[in-house]
Chain A
Amino acid sequence: QVQLVESGGGLVKPGGSLRLSCAASGFTFSDYYMSWIRQAPGKGLEWVSYISSSGSTIYYADSVKGRFTISRDNAKNSLYLQMNSLRAEDTAVYYCARWLEVVGATWFDPWGQGTLVTVSS
């Protein structure tokens, strides 16, 4: 079945860096856009970034632009999020999700189980 498994979360000091990974299985990874979405403790969902199937098109939310870098390795069926200059407000569960779309519509299915990133001194 289609499955996404995130890893790489943990505790990091403000200003530090962390790299998240998402391993995909059960579908042809290289055919799909992918995305990262986060959820701060007790808060709602916030879209972070997406990457096209080839990796040639990338977008970021303004809140992470210039600090986070999304990438993928289609040979390894893996999605990544390099997070630099981390701030306390980046503390959240980070989900990877498969991006589905038709013209004018974009949605996410499925989602991984999430990995917790805590930024604290």
Chain B
Amino acid sequence: SYELTQPLSVSVALGQTARITCGGNNIGSKNVHWYQQKPGQAPVLVIYRDSNRPSGIPERFSGSNSGNTATLTISRAQAGDEADYYCQVWDSSTAGVVFGGGTKLTVL
């Protein structure tokens, strides 16, 4: 089955740029989606199909995907961006959904 690998944690200074990676075999050939989950809350979609932002998501959130790594980039990080972030793909070989293990973002 397909696997997605994320770092357990990423730290970023307030106002700087955070990059959260999601690794997978030839993930660049897949569509990657990203969710933000704050403590005690449900996940919220922040990026879909590699680089598209849903309405209401700040332009500070962007995504890219190439080769074996997809990346969620958060510019001008704010304290309110502290959350767990999950990447997700569709695995056509198993007709199933795959989530990465999640990355905890800390804003210092």
Contact = CB atoms under 8 A, between A and B. Distances in A.
B9 to A, nearest CB: 13
A47 B99 contact: yes
B49 A105 contact: yes
Interface residues of A, number: 24
A118 B27 CA distance: 35
A110 interface: yes
Q: Is the interface of A mostly helix, strand, loop or mixed?
A: strand
Nearest to B6: A44
B54 interface: yes
Interface in A32-48: 35, 37, 44-47
Contact of A109 (B48, B92, B100, B102): B48
Interface residues of B, number: 24
A102 B49 contact: yes
Given A106-B90, A107-B45, A109-B54, A47 B97 contact: yes
Given A111-B44, A112-B42, A44 B99 contact: yes
B33 A59 contact: no
A46 B88 CA distance: 10
B49 to A, nearest CB: 5
Interface of A: 35, 37, 44-47, 50, 59, 61, 95, 100-102, 104-114
Interface of B: 30-31, 33, 35, 41-45, 48-49, 54, 86, 88, 90, 92, 95-102
